[in-house]
């Protein structure tokens, strides 16, 4: 597995620099903005999130604002996005930040992971993108990309395979650009190494050493 993965970071980051979609949470990746985007993007496509994200940040631009927002106003902002437990957990987490961290977004992986509604992937995304911590962010896109490139036939729905891939990525994530690396992996899975339909191998920065393509 490691041989193929070790070849990936440089071509992937060069590809991302040229091909990354322009998204509002990327242009100003504060912890709060990245966190809101990652929760909204769970089980929802990017195109569907953009207007909601803009309206949400206009209405509640800070953790303190979100913590104090009446529940009916919160639900109105979220209406149409579905999976309403995400919104309730966002507010629970905002109150945790206010009560336990003095209103300042926590800056370690474990503290971010302790927030309501935050799992391994979201904690990794926020820690790497907003704080520059070299922590993998492993979602379905990333699992698919890694198993294809490395020819791993393991079942990506099992915790053991996810742990193995997370550990392999931890070994190769570039310490000077962990947030860009994680976003590039997600971008590759969302736009090139597709789950349904033919992958666009001619556009992939890992095509030369991808075992699935070979």
List, by residue number, the catalytic residues.
Answer: 38
**The two structure tokens encoding residue 27:** 């242009």
Which is it for the CA torsion 21, 16, 158, 124, positive or negative? negative
Q: Distance between CA atoms of 91 and 106, rounded to whole angstroms?
A: 15
5, 172 in Cβ contact below 8 A?
yes
| R_g (Cα) of the chain, nearest Å | 18
Q: Distance between CA atoms of 66 and 214, rounded to whole angstroms?
A: 49
170, 178 in Cβ contact below 8 A?
no
- Closest of 104, 3, 9, 122 to residue 62, by C-alpha: 104
């Amino acid at each position: 597995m490691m041989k193929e993965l070790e070849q990936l970071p440089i071509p992937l980051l060069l590809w991302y620099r040229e091909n990354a979609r322009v998204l509002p949470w990327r242009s100003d990746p504060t912890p709060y903005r990245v966190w809101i985007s990652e929760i909204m993007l769970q089980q929802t496509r990017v195109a569907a999130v953009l207007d909601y994200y803009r309206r949400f940040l206009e209405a509640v631009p800070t953790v303190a604002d979100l913590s104090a927002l009446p529940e009916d106003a919160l639900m109105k902002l979220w209406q149409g996005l579905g999976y309403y437990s995400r919104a309730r957990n966002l507010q629970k987490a905002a109150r945790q930040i206010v009560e336990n961290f003095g209103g300042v977004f926590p800056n370690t992986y474990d503290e971010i992971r302790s927030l309501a509604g935050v799992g391994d992937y979201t904690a990794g995304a926020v820690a790497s993108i907003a704080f520059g911590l070299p922590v993998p962010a492993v979602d379905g896109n990333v699992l698919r990309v890694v198993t294809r490139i490395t020819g791993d036939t393991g079942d990506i729905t099992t915790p053991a395979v996810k742990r193995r891939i997370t550990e392999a990525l931890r070994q190769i994530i570039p310490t000077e650009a962990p947030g860009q690396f994680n976003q590039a992996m997600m971008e590759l899975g969302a736009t090139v190494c597709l789950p349904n339909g033919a992958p666009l191998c001619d556009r992939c920065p890992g095509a030369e050493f991808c075992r699935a393509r070979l």
